[in-house]
Structure 1
Amino acid sequence: MGQLLNQRYQFIQSLGSEAMGQTVLVGDTQQSGYPRCVVKQLRLPSQPTKAVEVSLAIFEKKAEALKTLGSHPQIPKILDYFAENQSFYLVEEFISGRSLSQDIIPGHPFPEERVVELLVEVLEVLNFVHSREIIHRGIKPSNLIHRQSDDHIVITGFGIFREISTQILRSQGEEMDKPPHDTTVYIPPEQAIGKAQFNSDLYALGMIGIQALTGYSAEDLTQFDPAAEKKADEGSWETNLKIHPRLLAILKKMVHPDYQQRYQSATDVLVDLQQWETAQGALVSNGHQEEGVNGSVPVMTATPVAVKESDGQESEVESVVNKNGASALPKPPPPPKINQPPTSSDSAPAASSTPSFPLKWVGVAVLGIGVLVGLIIALGVPQRVLRGQSLQQAREQVLKGDYQAAIATYSRLIDQHPDSAEAYYQRAMVHRTLGQNQRAIDDLTTVIQLGGSNLDEAYYQRGNLRYLIGDRPGAIADYNAALEQNPNMAKVHVNRGLVHADQGNEPQALADYNQAIVLDPSLAAAYLNRCLTRSNLDDHEGAILDCNQAINLRPTHPLAYQNRGLVYRRTGDLLGALKDYNIAIELDPDDPDPYYNRGLVRRDLGDQRGAIADFTTALELNPDHVVAYYDRGMLHLTMGEREQAIADFQESAQRCLDVGRLGCYEDAKYQLEQLGRPTP
C-alpha cells in the first residue's frame, strides 16, 4: 500500500491481517487536517466467479446498511467503500481510545456494579444495531473501545468481512482460517456453524461479562465454555463465585448454548438488569444506604500530556461518568374501602358488597398496609429512588453533551441531599470536563469529607486535578492518600511517578513506574513514562525496550513514538528518530511537539530549511512554544538571516520572561546583546 488508495488515502501503518485481507490506519489527504481513518481490505480471487459477484453485491448492500448505523454516537461512521486492484475496501472513522481488552486483566475481577454498567452500555448500542436488522458477529473485548474523548464504549469490528470472506472461500472449496483460540470463547455454537442469530451477540457479551466478573483470562475461560463438552469434575465458571443470584441468572441465560433458550433480545436483558439495579438500590444498611462514590466503579480513560524534549511524560488523567440509576418502585395500593357494619345487633345483614371474611382480618389488612407504607417512608426508599432518578437524568444529560443541564440537576440533588457523595463526585467530573478544575477540586474535597468506601478514587481524581493546576505537592499528597486506601492502584503509581519526574526525582519516578508494571503489566502508560525516565538515567537500552512494549500495547499511540524518537536521538540514531517523529505526526498532526523534535533532528542532519519549517509549524500550533522561537532564531543566525533571528530572540525573551523561565530568557538576552539589540 505504498500508493494512495483510491487516490486519496495515505497508508500510515498496519493494524492487523487475515488470509483475505488486512486492516490499516490511513490518513485522508482530501480532508483538512489529514484525519485518520481505518481501512479494511477484502482481497478478491484473481478469477471472478458467479459466487464472488453475488458476494460483492451482498457486500455493497451490507456496507450501505452499516452506513445507517453511523447515526449512533457509539458506532464508527462508514465513510467510504470502493473496489480497487482486485480488492474491496471499507473506510470507517478512526476511534481514538483503548480497548476493553486492556482493562480486563486476568486475576483482577470487576465489581458487580461495573460489570452491569458495561453490559447496559453495550446492550443499549446492540439494541439499536439489531433494530436495523444487523448482527454484529464480532463482539469481543478488542472491539469495544473506550473513546478517549468521553470514555463511552464504541462498538467496532462488525463481522461483515469475515462473513463474506467465508462465502467466497467456500465457493472455491476452501475454508476460512479458524479464529484465534482465545477468541472462540465469544462465539456461540450456532455462529460457529454459520447460522448466527441476533442473540449470538448477546452470548458474546455475556461471556465478556463473565470474564470481567471472574478475572479469568479468555484462554482459561474456554475450559468453562457453556457450549463445550465438559467432564463432570471440571467445574463451572460460577464455582465459588459470590455474586447476586439475580445477576448470576442473567449471565447464565445470556450464554445458554441453545439460542432458543437464550435471551431473545437486548431489550429483554436490559429489563432484567434494570430490575437487578432496582433491587440493589433498595438495599438498606444500618437504616440507610450510603450514596458514596462507590455507587458504581467508574471506567477510566487516559488523556496524555504532550512530550517535550526535556520533560515529556504521559499522564493518565481520567474522565469518569457514572452510569448508575434506579427505577421507581411501584406505589403501595390504597387502603380498601370498608363498609360499616350494622349498629344494632337486632338488625338484619344489609345486602351490600361487604367482604365475606371476618372484620378482624380486614383490620389486619389495613394495619399491614399502613405498616408497609410506614416502613417504606421510614427506610427512605422513595427518597433513594428519587435520588436514583435524578442521577439517571443527569447521566443522560452528560451523554447528550448538555453539561450545564447536568450540573444543574446535580446541584438540585445536592440541595435536597447535601450528604450525597455520589452527586458531588459526578458534578466534579462534569466540572473537570468543562475545564472548571477548582470547582471540581472543591466537590471532590466534599466527597472526601463525607467519606465512603471508594475514597481511593476521590483522592486519585483530586490528585489529577491538582497536578493540572500546577499544585504538585498537593497532587503527591493525594496520590499517597489514594494508595493508603488501595495500594494496588497501578494508575496512581503512574501519575505519582509523573509528578516525581517533573520535580526532577527520576529514581523515585522509576520506582513508581516499576510498581505500576508489577500491578498491571498491560498498562502502556507505565512503560511509556518509564522509557523516558530510563533514558534520563542513561539506561537507553532499557528505555528502547520500554518504548517498544508501549507501542506493542498501543500501536497507534503517538507519544510512544515520540519518546522512542527522543531516545534514538540521544543515542545518535538520527534516522531512527526521524522515522518515529514522522509516525507521531501522521498519528496526531495537531500536536506541536513532534514537529519541534523533528526540527531538532533535521537540524542535526544538516537540513536547516526543513528544521525551520518544522519549528514554524510547531509555533503555528502552539505560539507559546518558547524554546522553538530560540532554536529557530539560532538557525536564522547560522544562515545569516539577521533580522529574522533578532525577531525570534526578542519573542523568545519576552515569552520566557512572561512564564518565569529565566534560563531561556537569559539565553535569548545573551544572543540579542551579541547582535546589539535591546532585550524586552
Structure 2
Amino acid sequence: MTEGNNKLLCGRYQIIQELGRGGFGVTYLATDTFSNVLCAIKKLDPLNADLETAKRFFHREVNILNTLQTNQQVPKFFDYLEENNNYYIVEEYIEGTSLADLVGQKWSEQTVVNFLQQILSVLAYLHAKNIIHRDVKPSNLIIRKGDKRFVLIDFGSVKKLEKQYPSFQSSVTQTMIGTPGYAPSEQMAGRPRFNSDIYALGLTAIQLLTGMHPRELRWDEKDNILLPSDIQIDDSLAVVLTKMVHNNPDQRYQSVEAVTEDLNKTKISSPPTQPPTYYTANRRGVLANLRFLGIWQIPIVLILLAGIIACVEFIHPFIRPAYYLHEANNLLDERKGDAALEKFNYLKEIQPNSPEVWKGRGDALFILGRDFAALQSYNRAIFLQPKDQKILVKILINKGKVLYKQQNYQEALDIYEKALKSDNNNPEALSGKSLSLLALGQKQEALQYLDQLKQIRPDDPRIWQEIGFAIEQSQGRQAAKEYFQEALSSYDDILRVKKNNPIYWTDRGSILLKLNRPQDALDSYEQALKLDNNFYEALIGKGNALNLLGKPSEALFAFRQASEVRPQDYLVWFNQAILLTQTLRNHEEAIKAFDQTIALKDDFHPAWVGKALALLELKRPQEALEAIEKAKDLQPKDPDIWDIRGEILKELGKQQEANNSYYQAERLRGGMR
C-alpha cells in the first residue's frame, strides 16, 4: 500500500498520504469511500520486532480500542482488516495540532493545568479498565481542531493488567516498551505500573511549561526533579509536578485521582481573572479608556505627555532589541550561558522571526550543555532563512559542533560541507569538516584539510591544536607533539596581550595536558578560574589535571563544581562516573553518575558500558547484562562490548552464550577468516 495508489484497500478505503511510522506499523490518512469520511489506517509493518510479536501487539491494540468507544478523547475504532497477508486497523482521524509542534512555546501555567486535567481524565478512564497507555508524550497528544480538546492517540503500546492498581508488577522482566526520556525506569525495565503513565504525563507538562526536552532535565540525589531556576512555576503546581515525576515509583502518585485532587487545590486551578481593559498599551486604548472613565477634562500637558509616550513606544521596539542583542552577544563571548540565554529568550518574544536571535539562543544553550534544545534553535534559525550569508554560515558551523559533540559525525560533516559551499575557506568549517572526517576514519582526507587550514591561519593556535589532535589519532602522540608545541607558543604570544582572557588560559591548559605537563596545565586552569571562578571548561580541565597528578578526590570536587555550572551537560557526569569507578572504586556513586549521564543522553553507549562494568564489580551481573545489552544495541559492531557481554554471561553461568559473545567479538576484530 503506497501513497497515491488508486486501488482501494479492501474495495473501500482510498489512501491519501502517510502520517507517520512507529515500531510496529505505518499510519496513513485515507478516505472511507462508503461514507466519504476521513480516517486513519495503521498497517502492520514491524521495523524492530519479529512479525509474531508485532501481530500480538497489533491484535491487542484492536481489542483495546474496541473497548474504549465511550470516551470522546481517544480515537474511535472503526474496523479491522486483513488483505493479502497484511493487517490493518481503521480508526477515527483526529484533525488538529500535535503537541510535538508546540513544545517550544512555553505554555502558561493555566493552559498546562487545563491540559493535565483533561488527560488525567482520559488516563482515569483507561486505568479503570486496567489499561496502561505506556507512550504518553507530545507526539501522541493532539489539540482537536473542532472543539480544541486534547486527544490521546496511538494505542499500539498499551498493556492490560490482570489486577487493578497492583502495588508492583511481576518481577519477571517483560518486553521493554516506551519512549526513552518519557518512560520511567520501571517501565523501561519491562515492569510498568499505572503511575508510569503519570510520570510520562508529568514530564510532558514540564516540557510544555519550560520548553525543555526531558533529556535536558535532571533529578537530585533523592530522585526529586530539579525544575529549571530560570522558569517561574507556581509553588503549588511545582509540588504536584515534582511528585508526578519522582524517579521512585513508590514515592510517585499512585493514582490519577490523587493527582487530580492535588491539582484542583493549586492556586491556578481556576481560570485567571482577566486584566482590566484600561491597561491597554497603545495610545488609542489609553484615550478610549480615559473617555470611558469620564475624565476628558484632564490638563493639556498630560495629553501631550501621552503623545510623547506613544512616540517612545513607537521607537522603543527598534532600539531595545538592538541593545539587548549587543548585550547578549557580549555575554556569549564571555561564555556566560545562563545570562545570555535569559537575554535571548526575552528577544525571542520581541523578535520571534529573527535568525540572529535564534542563533544566539542556540549558542547559549550549547554553552550550557543543552544540546537537544540548541539544535532546535539552530534549526529554527536556518528555517527563517537569514539574508546575511555570514550569519547562515555561522549557524551551520555551530550546528555542526553540536552534532559532532553528539557523535553524529556524518550529519556534522554534511552540515560543514553546506557551510563551505557558501564560504569555501572558512577556517571553522574546514576545521569541523576535517575533525568529522577523522572521526569517520577518513584520515588522509582530514589531514589535507588541516594542511589547508595551516596556510589560511598560520598564527591561530586552535588550528595547530586541531592538527595535533588529527595527527595524534592517526600517527600517535609523539608525532603530534611538534604541533602541540606550536599551539602552545601561539597561546603564549596571545596571552602576553590578552592576559585577562580565561578562554585562552583554559585552551593553553588543554595543550599542556597533551604535552604531558599536568602541573603546568593545572596552573593555567587556575589562572583562568581566578578570572572567572565558574568557568566551566577550566573546571573540567582542572579535574583532568588533578586526576593525572594523583589527586582523585580533588579532581572529583572540580568535576562536581562543573556539574553545578552546567548540570545539563552529560559529559561532566560521565567524567565523574569514570573517576568514581576506575580510580576511587566507589561503584555505587559511579552508577548514579552513569545514570545521570544516561538520563541526559540515553544513546551515549560508553555510559551504558561503564554502568555495566560498575554493576559487575558490585556482583550484580543480571543488571550488568541489561546495561551491556543496551550498549550492544547502540553500538553492535564494537568488539569490546561483546567481550564485556561474554564476561557478564560467564558470571551468570551461561557459558555457551558467553562463548558465542566472545566469538562475535573475535569476528568483529577480523580474527575470523
**TM-score, normalised relative to structure 2:** 0.40
**TM-score, normalised relative to structure 1:** 0.40
Judging by fraction of residues, say which structure has more helix: 2
